[in-house]
A and B are shown apart, each in its own frame.
Chain A
Amino acid sequence: GAGVSQSPSNKVTEKGKDVELRCDPISGHTALYWYRQRLGQGLEFLIYFQGNSAPDKSGLPSDRFSAERTGESVSTLTIQRTQQEDSAVYLCASSGGFGGDLNSPLHFGNGTRLTVT
């Protein structure tokens, strides 16, 4: 596809369940980012991938959060034992070139709205 694709667009889950959020970046983009956006707030950095490696996981809020990327393409963000505080929009973004390509802007998907009941 032409842009970053995220699925599902909306997810409602019960507290304590695990969820998986998927991101398909723009083809050829080596850098991939996950952000969390709570209602009416800014973007909170979660994790960054360069290729299939995650050199920066510093934003993951707890060990219930994990992410992986395969084939230098699709990435999955997994939240285990979800809590109500995990309710937010999860945004994925990709950019071309390596992390050193400062000029390359991030291209965002439309996000997954997660609601934990």
Chain B
Amino acid sequence: AQTVTQSQPEMSVQEAETVTLSCTYDTSESDYYLFWYKQPPSRQMILVIRQEAYKQQNATENRFSVNFQKAAKSFSLKISDSQLGDAAMYFCAYRRLSDMRFGAGTRLTVKP
């Protein structure tokens, strides 16, 4: 099984500031996808951003962007201009074919 590691159990950011959440993964494959999901207290898992491994360009979705380093097997999420509504658990995920694995999550707190 592929492993996904999020080394930061908790992170905190001031409103309007920028924060980066870390994720590393282990795989011997070259073709796969990576995702970041957000889980607010409502329990709903919400897709934030996705990255195709064969693309060198980092994915961006509004205030959310990733730093994908394929050789280092690193996939960090940057949240710019943090908002109170960004407070949630964030999960990094790896997918290849039917195998989809999640990291343990990072709890993000946004301070007003």
Question: Which residues of A are in contact with B by a Cβ distance under 8 Å?
Answer: 31, 33, 35, 41-43, 45, 48, 50, 55-56, 58, 89, 91, 93, 99-100, 102-103, 105-106, 108, 110-111, 113
Contact = CB atoms under 8 A, between A and B. Distances in A.
11 contacts: A35-B102, A45-B100, A55-B98, A91-B45, A102-B31, A102-B95, A103-B50, A103-B52, A105-B35, A105-B50, A110-B44
How many of chain B's residues touch chain A, expressed as a range?
Answer: 20 to 34
Interface in B14-36: 31-33, 35
Contact of A100 (B44, B52, B97): B97
Nearest to B44: A110
A98 to B, nearest CB: 9
Nearest to B107: A40
Nearest to B95: A102
Residue of B6, B45, B95 with most partner-chain A CB within 10 A: B45
A26 to B, nearest CB: 13
A43 B52 CA distance: 22
B69 to A, nearest CB: 19
